[in-house]
Structures are given as C-alpha cells and as structure tokens.
Amino acid sequence: MRLLARTTVFFLLYASVVAVAGTFVYYEFIRKIYYVYVDRTLSRRKLRVENDLRLYLRTPADLTFWHQLDHNVEFVPLTAPGPPAAFSVRMMYNQLVGKAVPYRQLAAPVQFQGRPYRLELRTTMLESQELLARIVQAGALLFGVLLVGLLVLQHFLTRRLWAPFYQTLGELQRYKLDQHQPLSLAPTRIPEFKELNSALSRVLNRNQRIYHRQKEFTENAAHELQTPLAILRTKLDMLVQVPGLTEEQAGHIEPLLDVTQRLTHLSRSLLLLAHLDQQLFFPSETVDLAAVIRTQLGQLREQLEAANLTLVAEGLAPTLTVAANRSLIEILVSNLLSNAIRHNVPGGELRVLLTPDELTVQNTGRPHALPADQLFVRFRPGPERPPGSVGLGLAIARQICDTYGFLLSYHYDAPGRHSMRVRIH
C-alpha cells in the first residue's frame, strides 16, 4: 500500500471512530444543555407558581381549575410533606398528537393554605427532541463535510508536499552506479526533503566516485602492464634470435614465452572488462552471428581435433544478424566455444545450436552440475578451472551479454552435459 493510501486509511479509521463516538457525545452534550435550559425554565415557573399560590389562589378548586386550563401544572394533595424538588422524565398522553410523549417534570413540595401539596410542572419534550435530532443531524452533516474536505485537502496537499519525495524516488530507481553524470535531485523548499536529497547525493556521488576510481584503477593497472609486457615480449623476441642458442637455453625461454602470453591475455581481458564496465563506446554494426560462429569454429578446428571432440552444429546455415560490435560478438562466441572445449572430456562432444532467439553451446563434461552462481564470477577459483585459463572468459561473456541485453545462463541439461545459453532477443 502506498504511503499516501496508508495515511488516508489511518485518517479514515480515526475519522469514523471520532464520527461515531463524537455523534453520541455530541448528542448527549446537546441534550444535557437542553435539559439544563428546560430545568431552569421549570424552576422559574415553580417560583412563579409559588408566588401565585401565595397571592392569587384561594381554594383547592382553584388548583384543579388551573390544572384544567394548563395540563402542565398539577397539584397533588399530600398527607405528609413530600420529598424535596426533583426533575424526572415521564411519558404522558398528549391530546394534540394523540399519543404518549415524553415530558420533563419538576416535582416540588409546596404549601397551600397550610397543607402540603406536590406541585408537578411539566413541559413536553416532543419538539425539543426533534430539535435535538435536527441539531445532531446538522452537526453530523457539518462533520461529514469537514471530513470529506479534509480528505480531499489531504490528498492534494500530500500529493503536492510529497512530490519532491516521489521525484527523488524516481531518480533513485533510474540511478545506476556506473552512470557517468552525477545524480541530480530536484530542489525543494521542505527542509526534510532537502536534507534527504543532500544526504542521498552525498552518499551516491561518493559511491559513484569510489566505483569509478576502482574501475579506473583496474584500467590503469591493466594499462600500465602493457608497456612492461611489450618490453618483455620484444626482449624475448630478440632473445630467441641470438645465434648459437642452445636447447637448454631454449627450454628456459619457452615457459617465459608462455607466461608472457598468459599475462598479456590476462591484462587484455582485464582492460576489456574495465571498458565494458565503464560502458565505453563500442560502435555497433550489423553482425551475422551465424557467420561469426562458423568462422570461430573454423579457427578452433585444430583444438577440436587435438581433444578428439565431435562437433555437432545446427542452425548455422541461415544468417542471423544482431546489431552489436563485431569484436565483442567475436569475443563472446570465442569465449563460449573455448570454454566448451576446455571443460570437455577427451572424445566428448561439442554441440552448437543456433535458433533465431537463442544460441546454445553444449559440451560433455563432469557428471555433476556446476554452481551456476559462481560460473560468471571474475577469477573464479576452484577445481573446475583448468590450467592455462585465466578465469575471466565467462565473466567477459556475461558482461558482453549484459551490454547488449542478451541473457547468458548455465544449464545442466543431462548427466554430464553442460550448456551455456544466450537469449538474443
């Protein structure tokens, strides 16, 4: 549930509780006030009646006559002095509406001509109850309007007030660590968002700087290796030209040549990875993937023969074009094929299957599945790594696939059959 929806729900919950409870409380409150008012009126009338009793009324017949004129005034003769004055609500038949309606009654002890009476003063609550209902209705309506208004206001206000937050969120969702331009967050006047944005900018730009520094470091390190390697290579090239080179000396030079070769391959791979990570510009062209695979398979023919591998290739006849950098596609294909040859078993099989959507390179190999999550790790350690491999081939393949939105995955198809699949589209 979104933040705004969540606050609205809580707001509504609170509002409905307050509305329900509030209506009762409000009703009770208004009723109390009204009763106080009615009771005061009744008390004043009682004073007047007591006054009248003293000054104008002579006989008990007068009292009965009064009651006949005004039903809301009644004198009940008592034998003993009655209880003190008390208010009560009672139901009584009303002639005007023809049914029993509630009355507020003040019962007070009075003396008339030395004899105790109970004076009952009444006023009907019929209209006042309607009035009360109307007042409560009006109150509820007011409350409702207030609630709806508040909801609408809150909705628009929060939408406006939280706009910088959602902008920042959007920026963060689009943010990539390897992007080159620093994060730009929209300016805002709200201090909290200002602080949030500045904190985020600080953290992210710092991360980005560290990331780029690391990438630069890799690139520079690999780069700085090239010149010493070039010297090493050319010196070795000169060394093998020396006249009178003995077999023993040659035996010492050969491993040096191999190691230099490996170092060169390693530093080139690192450079390529650094460039792929930095998303350096690799010009795109239309590349026939099938043709690239055919060429690379041709290049590897001797390697296949040496390992006594059977090649099964399908779907390489029609052209299958992708828009990509030719060198990168060649490296991708070369790495996948070399990998399948390196990890093969003598007398095994290399299957290359190309469909319009997918390239599958399958090889026979160890009779157990490989840990898929570790295969594409740079400098993958472990017993799976054959000698001579620098452990970057698959990492590079994955990075190239990422560059072009291809999906590279490992599958253990059948016992002893491993495959790498590239989803092209």
Partner 1 sequence: MGLLLKKSFAEKIEPWKERDRTRINAATLPVLFISLSAPGMKLLLVEDEPELLASVVSYLQAQHYVCEVATTYDQAQEKMLLHDYECIVLDLTLPGGDGLDLLRELQRHQKAAGVIITSARAAVDDRITGLELGADDYLPKPFYLPELSARIAALVRRRHYQGTNLLQVGLLSVDVSARRASVAAQPLTLTRTEFDLLLLLLANQGRVITKGAIAEHLSGDVAEQFDTYEKVYAHVKNLKRKLTEAGAPNYIRMVYGLGYRFDPNPAT
The helix, strand and coil proportions of the chain, stated in percent and rounded to the nearest 5, come to 55, 20, 25
Q: How far is the CB of 332 from partner 1 (least distance, A)?
A: 10
Site for partner 1 in 330-359 (CB under 8 A): 330-331, 334-335, 337-339, 341-342
The order of strands in the sheet holding 417-423 is 310-314, 349-354, 358-364, 417-423, 407-414
User: Does 244 interact with partner 1 (rule: CB under 8 A)?
Assistant: no
Give the binding range for partner 1 (CB under 8 A) out of 12-20, 95-103, 243-251, 360-368: 243-251
Could you tell me which stretch among 42-50, 81-89, 200-208, 328-336 binds partner 1 (CB under 8 A)?
328-336
CB 421 within 8 A of CB 353: no
- List C-alpha distances in Å: 255 to 222, 338, 408: 22, 22, 35
Residue 87 CA to residue 102 CA, distance in Å, equals 13
Select from 262, 272, 282 the least CA-distant residue to 222. 272
Per rule CB under 8 A, is residue 272 in the interface with partner 1? yes
* Cβ 30 vs Cβ 132: under 8 Å: yes
Contact 393, 332 (CB under 8 A): no
- Residue 236 interacts with partner 1 (CB under 8 A)? yes
Q: Is 241 one of the binding residues for partner 1 (CB under 8 A)?
A: yes
Q: Does 56 bind partner 1 (CB under 8 A)?
A: no
> Should residue 234 be labelled a site residue for partner 1 when binding is judged by CB under 8 A?
yes
Q: Does residue 303 belong to the site contacting partner 1 (CB under 8 A)?
A: yes
Q: In the set 154, 261, 410, 416, which binds partner 1 (CB under 8 A)? A: 261
**By the rule CB under 8 A, 247 interacts with partner 1:** yes
* 411 burial level (CB within 10 Å; 0-12, 13-18, 19+): middle
215 lies in the site for partner 1, by CB under 8 A: no
Exactly one of 232, 311, 322, 370 binds partner 1 (CB under 8 A); which one? 232
Instruction: Report helix, strand or coil for 23.
Output: helix
> What is the spatial distance between Cα 103 and Cα 262, in angstroms, rounded to a whole number?
109
Least gap, CB of 250 to partner 1 (angstroms): 3
Please, what's the b/e burial string for 382-402 (b: 16 or more CB within 10 A of its CB; e: otherwise)?
eeeeeeebbbbbbbbbbbbbe
- Residue closer to partner 1 (CB basis): 39 or 288: 288
- Return the number of the residue (63 or 292) whose C-beta is nearest partner 1: 292
Single residue of 31, 45, 194, 233 touching partner 1 by CB under 8 A? 233
**Residue 299, C-beta contacts closer than 8 angstroms, at least 6 positions apart:** 334
Strands 407-414 and 310-314 come out as unpaired
Hey, which residues between 279 and 298 contact partner 1 (CB under 8 A)? 280-283, 296
Positions in the binding site for partner 1 (CB under 8 A): 223-224, 226-227, 229-238, 240-241, 245, 247, 250-251, 253-254, 257-258, 260-262, 264-265, 268, 271-272, 275, 280-283, 296, 299, 302-303, 305-306, 325, 327, 330-331, 334-335, 337-339, 341-342, 387-388, 393
